[in-house]
Amino acid sequence: MRVDIVTLFPEFFSVPLCTGVVGRAVQQGRARIGCVNPRDFTTDRHRTVDDYPYGGGPGMVLKAPPLVEAVESLVGPGNPGQVPVVLLSPQGERFTQTMAREMAALPRLVIVCGRYKGIDERVRELVVTREISVGDYVLSGGEPAALAVLDAVLRLLPGVLGDEESAETDSFGIDGTSGLDCGYYTRPAAYRGLQVPEVLLSGHHARIEAWRRAEAAERTRTRRPELAAPEPPTASQQTAGNPPPPPDSDPATWRKAG
Ligand code: 9WO
């Protein structure tokens, strides 16, 4: 998969993209990642990328031309092939594991990171195909969010995780979308008076598996009830309306409508 990041701070990505699972994906050539700096698409002497907002108010706005031209340098004018161009912003749809899986199946992706108070709205209209948020908080720019998305996506590329790692994530826990994972312990069996649950030392694999599933379900119910299996619908709800749509995994979702 090829990923290009449009950012005023390419150095933000240098260490994370060389480190750990993501670094290995890049090293192994399973992911190719590039950065393009909108500042290189300015034409004035001061290489200006921001300007005052029309209508006034505090903060600066990222100008449209350097951003649009940076994206077009990657996807061609008007994005004829409709390469997915994702903008990270607090106004986006919430990023999920399902989206990470969809993105990992794409051959190409462009990620746009904003700065300042925001980006000129016409960037969205002209080149952005999908706007994504990693959570309801304001960052100083899209870069930390882009790193979160990149990490979640690149670790899903075939061959990036070793057999042991991927076998684990395929069973249950948040990667299986069924809910939160159970707790884990390693040696020593007793630490500051705290004992590892007896069942984990028992060697009884069926009982261990059952304990882990129960623990995971209990955690999900108490900590993230919204992730837990929903209440079964009532008889009237079951017959009302149309069946739910299939899960969203259409690559067209990542292109621009119209
Ligand atoms: C800055 C600002 C300054 C004064 C008054 C209002 C303001 N709003 C913002 C703001 O939202 N800045 C954003 C910074 C502009 C776009 C890039 N930035 C960003 C992305 N912050 N947080 C994200 C983000 C991205 C994805 N998921 C969560 C947060």
Please tell me if the CB atom of residue 7 comes closer than 6 angstroms to any atom of ligand 1: no
The bridge status of strand 190-191 relative to strand 108-113 is: unpaired
Question: Which CATH number fits the domain 2-162, given the four candidates 3.90.1650.10, 3.40.630.40, 3.40.1280.10, 3.40.50.10130?
Answer: 3.40.1280.10
Q: Is the CB of 148 under 6 A from ligand 1?
A: no
What is the 21 CA–ligand 1 centroid distance (Å)?
28
* Amino acid 174: pLDDT: 46
Residue with CA nearest ligand 1 atom 1: 117
pLDDT at 132: 98
CA pair distance 237, 136, nearest whole angstrom: 31
Domain range 179-229, its CATH number among 1.10.1270.20, 2.40.30.10, 3.55.50.30, 1.20.1050.10 = 1.10.1270.20
The C-alpha atoms of residue 40 and residue 38 are separated, in whole angstroms, by 5
Determine whether the shortest distance from the Cβ of 50 to ligand 1 is under 6 A: no
Atom 29, ligand 1: residue with shortest CA distance: 90
Domain layout of the chain by residue ranges: 2-162, 179-229
Indicate which atom in ligand 1 lies nearest the CA of residue 141: 18
Q: Are strands 61-62 and 50-51 parallel, antiparallel or unpaired?
A: antiparallel
Phi-psi region of 88 (alpha: psi -120 to 50; beta: other; left: phi over 0): beta
pLDDT in tens, the chain (258 residues): 999 999 999 999 999 999 999 999 999 999 999 999 999 999 999 999 999 999 999 999 999 999 999 999 999 999 998 999 999 999 999 999 999 999 999 999 999 999 999 999 999 999 999 999 999 999 999 999 999 999 999 999 999 998 777 755 544 454 455 689 999 999 999 999 999 999 999 999 999 999 999 999 999 999 999 988 666 676 766 656 666 655 555 777 888 876
Residue 221 tokens, joined: 């119910």
